[in-house]
């Protein structure tokens, strides 16, 4: 069994994954907000310990940036970790087994290519749209790491070069600054959206239970209110969808992609996000080779991060 760990700005998850990609046990906890490095580490240790005995390897997906493959992490959405030696600390606690750390969005791409919507695809981009926006590239059937392990980081493709919002990377107008859940919710509030307004109507066939169960996740609140017909929330989802479409068109022209999978909390908004995304993509992906690209929801849901982390051990190519 592989010990798989998924560290994000909103939650941490850990579990056991078999070599065929089956998650056999898992648990999750909220990522402490505004916590220092050791508080974050102790939270992760408590989560991991029940799964640590007898594993053959440890795979970790964590928000970036990071030094790779050393696994010193500085996630933009976890300010308590700056240059934190995550790989070394885990290797010290779990001696004798390989420990591999990679960007969480890259792990999601690996998961979808191995067991999800990207199975069989040779040239794909796997994306996550949640607390942050990231991605991982599979080209020619193999993971592309890049020189520093950050290839595929589509969240920092610029989609609003003039007057775009500031980004946590220090730039402005990045896709992440526009489309990540918290930023989108903040934009909607500035336009008059009231996030605690009671919900009365939902879209037919749309599972809004995740949104209702976790009212602390503002991006999900926004999606739920959009399905309820809130005009500002609808505008916000359209804003995010079009920004994603523009960025994917650029990535498709650069990398000759056949498929893009999108996972993460905000992707659960369904057609509210994918409709304007497809509209903007088709406006901009006009070259014949780029027109073949398909954009689909990720298939693995909540377990994708753990499956992808395990893939770092099982499918190390």
Q: What is the pLDDT of residue 215?
A: 38
Tens digits of per-residue pLDDT, 119-153?
999 999 999 898 889 999 999 999 999 988 889 98
The fourth-level CATH superfamily of domain 120-298 is ATPase, nucleotide binding domain (3.30.420.40)
Q: What is the pLDDT of residue 130?
A: 84
Mean pLDDT score of the chain: 90
Q: What is the pLDDT of residue 203?
A: 41
Q: What is the pLDDT of residue 209?
A: 34
Output b/e per residue, 163-178; b: 16+ Cβ within 10 A: ebeebbeeeebbbbbb
Q: What is the pLDDT of residue 279?
A: 98
Q: What is the pLDDT of residue 286?
A: 92
Q: Reduced to 3 states, what is the DSSP secondary structure of residue 59? A: strand
Q: Which two tokens stand for residue 192?
A: 């008059």
Q: Reduced to 3 states, what is the DSSP secondary structure of residue 168? A: coil
Spatial separation of the C-alpha atoms in residues 268 and 97, rounded to whole Å = 36
Question: Residue 138: in which H helix or E strand, if any?
Answer: strand 133-139
Instruction: Please name the residues in contact with 30: beta carbons below 8 A apart, sequence gap of 6 or more.
Output: 10, 11, 12
Which one, of 109, 136, 138, 108, lies nearest residue 123 by Cα? 138
- 9 secondary structure, DSSP code: S
CATH class of 2-108+303-314: alpha beta
Q: What value, to the nearest 5°, has the Cα angle with vertex 138 and ends 134 and 139?
A: 130
**Could you check whether the bond before residue 227 is cis, i.e. omega within 30 degrees of 0?**
no
**In the chain, where are the structural domains located?**
2-108+303-314, 120-298
Q: Reduced to 3 states, what is the DSSP secondary structure of residue 186? A: helix
Extract the residue ranges of the chain whose pLDDT is less than 50. 198-217
Q: Which two tokens stand for residue 241?
A: 């969808």
Tens digits of per-residue pLDDT, 173-200?
999 999 998 899 999 999 999 886 544 4
């Amino acid at each position: 069994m592989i010990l798989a760990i998924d560290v994000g700005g909103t939650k941490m998850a850990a579990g056991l994954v078999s070599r065929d990609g089956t998650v056999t046990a898992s648990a999750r906890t909220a990522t402490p907000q505004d916590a220092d490095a050791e508080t974050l580490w102790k939270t992760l240790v408590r989560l991991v310990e029940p799964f640590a005995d007898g594993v053959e390897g440890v795979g970790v997906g964590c928000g970036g940036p990071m030094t790779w493959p050393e696994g010193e992490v500085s996630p933009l959405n976890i300010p308590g970790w700056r240059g934190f030696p995550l790989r070394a600390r885990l290797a010290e606690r779990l001696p004798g087994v390989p420990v591999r750390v990679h960007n969480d969005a890259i792990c999601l791409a690996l998961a979808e290519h191995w067991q999800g919507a990207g199975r069989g695809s040779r040239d794909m981009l796997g994306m996550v749209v949640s607390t942050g926006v990231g991605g991982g590239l599979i080209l020619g059937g193999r993971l592309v790491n890049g020189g520093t392990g950050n290839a595929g980081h589509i969240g920092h493709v610029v989609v609003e070069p003039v007057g775009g919002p500031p980004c946590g990377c220090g730039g402005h107008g990045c896709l992440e600054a526009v489309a990540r859940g918290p930023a989108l919710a903040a934009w909607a509030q500035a336009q008059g959206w009231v996030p605690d307004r009671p919900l009365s109507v939902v879209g037919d066939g749309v599972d809004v239970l995740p949104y209702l169960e976790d009212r602390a996740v503002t991006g999900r609140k926004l999606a739920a209110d959009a399905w309820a017909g809130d005009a500002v929330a609808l505008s916000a989802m359209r804003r995010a969808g079009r920004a994603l479409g523009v960025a994917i068109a650029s990535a498709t022209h650069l990398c000759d992609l056949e498929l893009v999978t999108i996972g993460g909390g905000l992707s659960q908004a369904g057609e509210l996000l994918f409709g304007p995304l497809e509209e903007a993509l088709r406006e901009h992906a006009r070259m014949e080779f780029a027109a073949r690209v398909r954009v689909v929801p990720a298939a693995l849901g909540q377990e994708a991060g753990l499956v992808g982390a395990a893939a770092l051990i099982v499918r190390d190519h």
